[in-house]
Amino acid sequence: MVRYALLRTVLDPLLAVSGPDGLAHLEFLPQAWEYHTRAHALARSLFGDDRDIHEEPGAFAELRDQLAEYFIGHRHEFTIALDLHGSDFQLKVWRQLLKIPYGKVRTYGQIAKTLRQPLATRAVGQAAGHNPLPILVPCHRVVGKGGSLVGFAGGITTKARLLRLEGHTLGEAARIEEPRLF
């Protein structure tokens, strides 16, 4: 069975989708009214058309509690079972993101070097951009060269808020850059 719920947080509402092996998707959903449609589409794409899909807010009580603790600064690690779906490269990147400690940041280039693919900076950025579990798989802790804040599914302002929550002063606020196509 696939379960989903809309979680109200201090940020935008979050759509949570879990399968039999754990939490598979967490998505910022500013237009909360569309969460039923989005949840069913995600569940079908992740687990197939033949699954039972049910809204079940109670199934996410632990996630809701852990997120609340994180947002008030009392939780630095999550203990929710994760069910990551992606390419081999994406999974490698996401596993590296999980190793970034609370309150620390890494650059896309540092992640690429850790993967022994120093020229794969853009590919690391794309994998981080497709992270299905923001906050829990902390892609917000990855910054651009020179510490600039670039790319985050929840928006750059949300990325800055999460980093400030974890103790970053972010130095010069002007370092926030909008994503570029080229």
Quickly list DSSP for 47-108: H-TTS-EEE-GGGGHHHHHHHHHHHTT--SS----B---S-HHHHHHHHHHHTSPTT--EEH
167 labelled catalytic: no
Contacts of 21 (CB under 8 A, 6+ apart): 81, 83
The residue type found at 33 is: W
Select which of 105, 127, 136, 139 is catalytic.
139
Q: Which residues are catalytic?
A: 139
